Amino acid sequence: MLAPLDPRAIQIYTDGSCYKNPGGMSGAAAIAIFPDYLGFPTEQIVEFGCAESNNNRMELFACIRAVEWVRKNGPWPAVERVQIISDSRYVVDNLGRAIFWKKQGWRNVHGEPKQNSDLWNRLLSARAKSGIRIDFCQQRGKRAQILKDVDKAAKKAAKRGGLKGDIGFKGGKVFRSHLKGTATRFPAAGQAAVIFIYRKGSPIKRENQIRFDLYNETTKTYVGKHFAYTTDSLTFDLHRGHWYRVQFNSNVNNPRIYALLGEASPGKPPAGIVA
């Protein structure tokens, strides 16, 4: 999708990168293009690398640093608008929602806790204090040279790493899921189920996101790759790389594990066998 670009605006292209997402070496970059009448050369304004983070956090971080740069370096003669161009749907699609999440204690309308509240809060605050109109646009793909350049810069920063860290990233050992693709929200309907936990995270205080493979004991296959939420106390008893029989609530919009029924030992299905 092509961003509606304003030739009199400062345009800032951002990108984030993570090797072995999540938890791998990560980086963020941003490149500013100035209106022709200013006569300023294109400038890389963000270059950040760290040893451990994830893609979404780096996409957010690139935008935050870009907005903070605007506040520090502006104003510019006759410039009334800044456009930040990102290829991240996570950032662009959720920017408006994040205002509501903040009012609700970083939960959505269904009460589901939202991840990366530290960065969303920082982005909203920086935008409000920037002193200029800042619009966010999405531009997918890498066909334009500027998009290739910022992608290359983010990957270079990630590969380099750095002494600074992403202090808001909750790391820890991550096991490999038995299924390909992205984890989806678990369709909780009050059922008990056997799950294999491959990742844990803490989106907000006292709330933990659990990512797991759903296991079918009858067919001895993995039948889904999902996430749900649970409390700190239950998270302490749910270990990565283990199978558990758990009880879910009945809210498909905010799935929660509310009881640990016991550890399961179903055994791994034959290699490559999934439902």
- The CATH number of the domain where 127 resides is what? 3.30.420.10
Phi-psi bin for 164: left (phi > 0), alpha (psi -120 to 50), beta?
A: beta
Task: Please check whether residues 212 and 138 belong to one and the same domain.
Answer: no
Cis peptide before 266 (omega within 30 of 0): no
Domain assignment present for residue 176? The answer is: no
Domain assignment present for residue 46? The answer is: yes
Cis peptide before 75 (omega within 30 of 0): yes
Domain span including residue 74? 10-160
Per-chain mean pLDDT for the chain: 90
Q: Is 90 exceeded by the pLDDT of residue 200?
A: no
3-state helix/strand/coil string of 194-256: EEEEEEEEEEECCEEEEEEEEEECCCCEEEEEEEEEEEHHHHHHCCCCCEEEEEECCCCCCCE
Backbone φ and ψ for 90, nearest 5 degrees, come out as: -55, -45
Q: What is the DSSP letter of 104?
A: T
Domain assignment present for residue 111? The answer is: yes
Task: Please check whether residues 38 and 156 belong to one and the same domain.
Answer: yes
Domain assignment present for residue 25? The answer is: yes
Task: Please check whether residues 22 and 140 belong to one and the same domain.
Answer: yes
Given a contact cutoff of 8 angstroms between Cβ atoms, the answer to whether 138 and 1 are in contact is yes
- Read off the pLDDT of each residue in 206-228 and give the average, rounded to a whole number: 92
Which of 127, 160, 193 is the endpoint of a domain? 160
Domain assignment present for residue 173? The answer is: no
Higher-scoring residue by pLDDT: 266, 125: 125
Domain assignment present for residue 270? The answer is: no
Task: Please check whether residues 154 and 254 belong to one and the same domain.
Answer: no
- Residue 75 has what pLDDT? 95
Domain count, the chain: 2
Domain assignment present for residue 243? The answer is: yes
How far apart, in whole angstroms, are the C-alpha atoms of residue 253 and residue 227?
A: 11
- Residue 3 has what pLDDT? 55
Q: Is 80 exceeded by the pLDDT of residue 176?
A: yes
Task: Please check whether residues 29 and 105 belong to one and the same domain.
Answer: yes
- H or E stretch at 28: strand 26-33
- Residue 232 has what pLDDT? 86
Which of 125, 160, 195 is the endpoint of a domain? 160
Task: Please check whether residues 99 and 34 belong to one and the same domain.
Answer: yes
Task: Please check whether residues 95 and 152 belong to one and the same domain.
Answer: yes
Return the structure tokens found at 170. 């909750």
- Give 267's pLDDT tier (boundaries 50, 70, 90): low
Q: pTM of the entire structure? A: 0.84
Task: Please check whether residues 202 and 125 belong to one and the same domain.
Answer: no
Q: Is 70 exceeded by the pLDDT of residue 171?
A: no
Give the percent of the chain with pLDDT over 90. 77
- Residue 224 has what pLDDT? 97
- Residue 20 has what pLDDT? 85
- Residue 47 has what pLDDT? 95
Q: Is 80 exceeded by the pLDDT of residue 243?
A: yes
Task: Please check whether residues 208 and 79 belong to one and the same domain.
Answer: no
How far apart, in whole angstroms, are the C-alpha atoms of residue 71 and residue 263?
A: 53
Q: Is 60 exceeded by the pLDDT of residue 263?
A: yes
Q: What is the DSSP letter of 113?
A: B
Q: Which of 112-116, 173-177, 186-190, 267-271 has the highest mean pLDDT?
A: 186-190
Domain assignment present for residue 204? The answer is: yes
Task: Please check whether residues 65 and 135 belong to one and the same domain.
Answer: yes
Task: Please check whether residues 108 and 66 belong to one and the same domain.
Answer: yes
- Give 170's pLDDT tier (boundaries 50, 70, 90): confident
Alpha helices per DSSP H over 136-206: 145-160
Higher-scoring residue by pLDDT: 232, 155: 155
Q: Is 50 exceeded by the pLDDT of residue 165?
A: yes
